[in-house]
Amino acid sequence: MTFIPNRVLLAAGVAGCAILASACSAAETPAPPADAEAAAATAPATPVADPTIVDAAAASPAHTTLVAAVTAAGLAETLSGPGPFTVFAPTDAAFAKLPAGTVESLVQPANKATLTKILTYHVVAGRVAAADLIGQIEAGGGSAALTTVEGGTLTASLRGGSVVLTDEKGGQATVTQTDLAGSNGVIHVTDTVSMPD
For 59-85, b/e burial (b = at least 16 CB within 10 A) is ebebbebbbebbebbebbebbbeebbb
Residues in contact with 89: Cβ distance below 8 Å, sequence separation at least 6, in sequence order = 57, 63, 66, 122, 187, 188, 189, 190
Q: What is the pTM of this model?
A: 0.73
Residue 138 C-beta-side C-alpha neighbours within 13 Å: 7
What per-residue confidence (pLDDT) applies to 51? 87
What per-residue confidence (pLDDT) applies to 7? 32
What per-residue confidence (pLDDT) applies to 13? 29
Sign of CA dihedral 123, 128, 131, 136: negative
- Our CA angle for 70, 111, 101, nearest 5°, is 85
For residues 125 and 84, give the distance between their C-alpha atoms in angstroms, rounded to a whole number.
6
Q: Tell me which H or E stretch contains 145.
A: strand 143-147
For residues 98 and 103, give the distance between their C-alpha atoms in angstroms, rounded to a whole number.
8
What per-residue confidence (pLDDT) applies to 49? 57
> SS3 for 93?
helix
**Grouped pLDDT means (10 residues each) for the chain, 197 residues:** 34 28 36 44 48 86 89 87 92 93 91 93 95 96 96 96 95 94 91 95
Residue 151 C-beta-side C-alpha neighbours within 13 Å: 3
For residues 127 and 192, give the distance between their C-alpha atoms in angstroms, rounded to a whole number.
21
> Tell me, what DSSP letter sits at residue 66?
H
